[in-house]
Structure 1
Amino acid sequence: MQAIEITKPGAADTLQPTERAIPCPGPGEVLIKVAAAGVNRPDVAQRQGNYPAPPGASDLPGLEVSGELVGGDFGGDNPFGLKLGDSVCALLTGGGYAQYAVAPLLQCLPVPKGLTLIEAAALPENYFTVWGNLFERGRLGATAKGTSESLLVHGGSSGIGVTAIQLARAFGHRVFATAGNAEKCAACEKLGAHAINYHEQDFVEEVHRLTEGKGVDVILDMVAGDYVARELGLLAEEGRLVLIADLGGKQANIDALLIMQRRLTITGSTLRSRPIEFKAALARQLYERVWPLLESGKARPVIHQVFPAQEAAKAHALMETSTHIGKIMLQW
């Protein structure tokens, strides 16, 4: 099969086409003939040498794909009744930049009705991440009084951001989102968020103004660093700060007294190294709670640009400019 490998840690042009043997699925695994794959920040970090694949994972980048089931083990737990020939999207620990990929059956979901295979490949990494962090760890939901909560999303025009905005709005929550220019802010507004251009406005002051000083219930943060102290001052009582990346740095200063006085929660997680059983539970929740939203059109992946898989280096170069809105995709 054709695949895209990282020839050495470095710039985007270290991604090069190669030939590899078609992988063999093991117990509980299936083989997917890949139609499309998503490009994600962890792929870029892996290419740069900053995010090695976990033990046992493919050295090829790629954490999500869509395509046709062409082989594997269907004899165990199969919650969605998948079979040979079905179109699926799947969450991987690696290996998605290839014409064939292996995935645990429990991490495969049927393609939502009405979505293309390219759109379906844009789902797993972002939707598993957002559901697990925003609704599970962040507990975004109705208050004790039955009212909806409020959310601040940083990087609102990213793949994670547009997913978080759409899902939070679909469940009736008020959403604020930060973005870096007018075009990105407009995209966030179109999805239902109140957008804040962080180059022109202080997001803390603006959210305090819009919430009449109350602050927000949940913050989904992929920046960390010096944002953390500012975010703690922006959380409402019983608020939750959920960290999912550290683009602004790993270290942060916190006000312990503020956390105690306002009964705040700081949490976060990574997804790639979590066990299959954890991801399988997320898959079931997505199928029950989110797939109907996708099929009804209340949520939809936002695709910025699709590249031929052989041009993966160009796709990575685009991602590193941070000019995109939504997902960057590869297609075989």
Structure 2
Amino acid sequence: MSIIQIDALPDLISKVTWGPQKHLLVSSWDTKLRLYSVSHDNSRQVTEVSASSPILDCCWGDNGVAFTGGLAGVVEAIDLQAGELLSIGQQHADAISSVVCDAGNNLIVSGSWDKNLQFIDARGGFGNKDSSMMIPTAGKVYTMDKATNSNYVVCGLGNRQIHIYDIRNMGQVFQRRDSSLKFMTRKVRSMPDGKGYANTSIEGRVAVEWFDPSPEVQAQKYAFKCHRAKEPDAQGRIEVHPVNGVAFHPATPAFFTGGSDGVVYCWDGKQRRRLKQYPHMPTSVMGLDVDSTSGDMLAIACADDSFKENPNGALAKSSLHVRFLDGEGL
């Protein structure tokens, strides 16, 4: 087992996501979308493309195309090989916080702070604004995810709402739920088997839930505390941290969480227990992703989020790391 630093970036990393052939896609607030080729002995940046605004999320499409959404409220399709960029769909009235792609149906979904979801049918050709549909939501969209083999898009909205959409019937909400966590949703992540999801909060908690509404399946859901100080401070308070990242292992019940405390944990989702606490990262952990093809690499995005408490302070550089999970016994 080992961990390596792939790169140091000048601005906050917003997303890390693995694609084909050990390629890692990384988006950042500096408007750059970067692609890395990763291996034990040779990791390098393959390409870098500038989007039209700071990027808040990115996802993989087919045939070497990636999609981004950012502060300008525009979804952009990027040909990673040619370095070409094209705006698609309609422009949101506010920033796009999340984008997901259902490659099998040529569908891209964008979620925005303007309280809308946009469904873009890419079969009509990129740039065709008539191929998209805006759907109002009950609140700002802060986070969103979809498993590759699932029809369900999970959306974390304001006011602790979780809305689930079925891509086969996009005009209405499939399920409406209130988060079982007391504080604002930070991240949602779909299980690889498409049967459920995890959602995290800004207050050091994680919930694991299933889509099947039957009582026997719903009885399996659970939540737990994490990313908290072990001992109280001088005032008797326990410091708690946002859980910014969650990622499932593709072949085992294990999943990982990362928080603003700079710690990555590995959990056994079946036995509901902690398996590992990894050494502290240099700054806050802002994002995680496990290679879905082999499950042997964990990408870790780190950034200095102290600006939330000290907006005028100097920030450390962001850093991109990969932990090799060989021999972890997951």
TM (norm. structure 1) is 0.28
Query: If you compute each CA radius of gyration, which structure gives the higher value, 1 or 2?
Result: 1
Larger strand share, 1 or 2: 2
Greater share of helix: 1
TM-score, scaled to structure 2: 0.28
